[in-house]
Amino acid sequence: MEWNFDPILYDFGWLQLRWYGVAFCIGLLLGSSELQRALARRGLPTKHAGNLTIWLIVGLIVCAHLVHLVFYEPQVFVNGNWKRIYQIGHGLSSHGGGIGCLLVAYFFTKWHKASFYKYVDSILAGTVYVIPAVRIGNFLNSEIYGRVTDVPWAVIFTRYKPGELRHPSQLYEAAIGLGLLALTLYLEHKKRHRLRDGALFYLILTLYFTTRFMIEWVKEYQILDPSFPFTMGQLLSVPFILWLGYMTLFSKNHSILKPRDPEPALADRTAINEEQESDDDGDDRAEDGGEDGDSEDQDDDDSDSEVKSEDDSADDSADDSADDSADDSPDESEDESEDEPEDRSSDKKRRQKGRK
């Protein structure tokens, strides 16, 4: 098959709208929508989807471009062609894009003090849409094509390598991307509750970089000499495969082989609820005991108050009696003193009469 597709959708003169950009934007829009739904499924704030999408795009493009320059165009730094650094739209590395997304997720979760693995699982569910979209864009651009071959489905990329039958490696990777997308959606919607946090992230990326390593056997050399047994893409994929593969299979907290701890069985949940209820009853009894103790103390206080009142009343009565006695004594003394002169005068009168 001969492929001579025009990669420019429309030329504004000062700006060219390319099919690659359209495919990339479609992947981003679909991924952003899925990211919001993935956050909601995990109980995370959906309002973060907008900010995350923006920062992920920035991190993906900037890091993808810088990694491409470092490993695929190192002469830019040797020759001092600094203008090439700012031509971000030309030359993107998928390895660098992955690193950029990881950095954004790390700093975003640190800033919001949130679970890193819950967010990277959600981000993975969205960014996986971009993989097939980008590879379709590569095919529309007639770039990153495969090596010369004689397979029946070989393609002649007329715009860049006319007359040479080559592997349509872009379509291979697009097909793999669609397969990863289908697997991600299946695990996300059907098996998410059985997977540990981070397991989806590690599994899908392990599969991506492993298949990427395999596809590189039919892709054209971009920088290394063809006599070298590996391509630059394979060399960059090896560290990812080792790290991601180890975490996928052997990680204590994120392995795909260790399902999430199941919810307690019905009997266990019943026992737990009964234990909680008994604890609550004990607390209630303790509170009631405290209230009874308080009421008894209050009764004792009331009794003490009554006794004290009676004592006070007795003291008051004694005082009143003493006062009354004190008041009565002077009166009796006065009466006795008044009666004595009267008796003397009567005796004196009787003696005078006797003399007469």
Q: pLDDT tier at 80 (50, 70, 90 boundaries)?
A: confident
pLDDT at residue 166 is higher than 50? yes
In a domain, 102, yes or no: yes
Which tokens hold the place of 219? 């892709």
Q: Which domain-ending residue is among 207, 242, 262?
A: 262
| DSSP classification of residue 149 | -
pLDDT score for 336: 44
Residue-wise pLDDT tens digits, 188-232: 999 999 999 999 999 999 999 999 999 999 998 888 888 888 999
Q: Per-residue confidence at 264, pLDDT binned at 50, 70, 90?
A: very low
User: What's the whole-number mean pLDDT along residues 100-120?
Assistant: 94
Task: Tell me the Cα Rg of the chain.
Answer: 49
Q: Which amino acid is at 323?
A: D
- Enclosing domain of residue 143: 2-262
Residue 347, in any domain of the structure = no
For the entire predicted model, the pTM comes to: 0.70
Block residue for tokens 């829009």? 29
| Claim to verify: residue 138 and residue 280 sit in the same structural domain | no
Last residue of a domain, one of 228, 243, 262: 262
Q: Is the pLDDT of residue 31 over 60?
A: yes
Instruction: Please determine, for residue 65, whether its predicted confidence score (pLDDT) is greater than 60.
Output: yes
Region 24-28: mean pLDDT is 93
Residue 189 shares a structural domain with residue 294: no
* Cβ(233)–Cβ(216) below 8 Å: yes
> 315 pLDDT exceeds 50?
no
Total of domains in the chain: 2
Q: Which helix (H) or strand (E) holds 155?
A: strand 155-157
Give the per-residue pLDDT at 288.
52
Name the residue among 123, 202, 161 with its Cα closest to residue 2: 161
Averaged pLDDT, 16-27 = 91
Q: Within 13 Å and on the Cβ side, how many CA atoms surround 119? A: 24
Q: What percent of the chain is predicted at pLDDT more than 90?
A: 50
- Please report which confidence band the pLDDT of residue 348 belongs to, taking 50, 70 and 90 as the band edges: low
289 and 168 in a common domain: no
Separation of alpha carbons 241 and 203, rounded Å: 10
Q: Is residue 336 part of a domain?
A: no
Cβ-based neighbour number of residue 241 at 10 Å: 18
Half-sphere exposure (CA, 13 Å, Cβ side) for 57?
14
Is 146 in contact with 167 (CB distance < 8 Å)? yes
The answer to whether 244 touches 205, Cβ cutoff 8 Å, is: yes
Please determine, for residue 277, whether its predicted confidence score (pLDDT) is greater than 70. no
| pLDDT for position 81 | 81
CB of 108 closer than 8 Å to CB of 59:
no
Is the CB of residue 206 less than 8 Å from the CB of residue 244?
yes
Name the least confident of 17-26, 83-92, 182-191: 83-92
Q: Does 238 share its domain with 276?
A: no
**What is the percent of the chain with per-residue pLDDT over 70, rounded to a whole number?**
73
Best mean pLDDT range from 79-83, 94-98, 311-315, 330-334: 94-98
Q: Is there a single domain that holds both residue 31 and residue 153?
A: yes
Residue 168, pLDDT score: 94
Average pLDDT on 31-59 reads 93
Q: Are residues 248 and 285 in the same domain?
A: no
| pLDDT at position 169 | 94
Residue 230 region by backbone torsions, left for phi larger than 0, else alpha for psi between -120 and 50, else beta: beta
- In terms of domains, do 160 and 301 share one? no
| Domain membership flag for residue 331 | no
Decide: helix, strand or coil at residue 148.
strand
Q: Are strands 155-157 and 16-18 parallel, antiparallel or unpaired?
A: unpaired
Mean pLDDT in residue range 10-19: 86
- Nearest CA to 23 out of 50, 5, 2 is that of 5
What was the pLDDT predicted at 282? 54
335 lies in some domain: no
pLDDT at 266: 40
Q: Is residue 275 located within the same domain as residue 133?
A: no
Residue 337 falls inside a structural domain = no
Residue 311 lies in a domain: no
* One domain, residues 33 and 64: yes
Shared domain for 193 and 243, answered yes or no, is yes
Query: Which tokens is 237 given?
Result: 């994929």
The answer to whether residues 68 and 96 touch, using CB atoms and an 8 Å cutoff, is yes
Same-domain status, 73 and 126: yes
Query: What's the burial of 138, exposed, middle or buried (CB within 10 Å: 0-12/13-18/19+)?
Result: buried
Whether the predicted pLDDT of 274 surpasses 80: no
Residue 245: pLDDT above 90?
yes
Rounded to the nearest 10 degrees, the angle between the axes of helix 199-215 and helix 169-190 is 160
Are 298 and 256 in the same domain?
no
- Mean pLDDT score of the chain, rounded to an integer? 80
Say what the pLDDT of residue 185 is: 95
What does the angle CA 239 – CA 240 – CA 241 come to, to the nearest 5 degrees? 90
pLDDT at 132 over 90: yes
pLDDT value of residue 220: 87
What is the rounded distance in angstroms from the CA atom of residue 356 to the CA atom of residue 348? 13
Who wins on pLDDT, 92 or 104? 104
Tell me the C-alpha distance between 234 and 95, whole Å. 11
The last residue of a domain, from among 239, 262, 285: 262
Do 38 and 117 touch, CB atoms closer than 8 A?
no
Does the pLDDT value for residue 35 go beyond 50?
Answer: yes
How many whole angstroms separate alpha carbon 166 and alpha carbon 181? 26
The answer as to whether 174 is a domain residue is: yes
Q: Are the C-beta atoms of 123 and 106 separated by less than 8 Å?
A: no
What is the predicted pLDDT for the residue at 106? Answer: 95
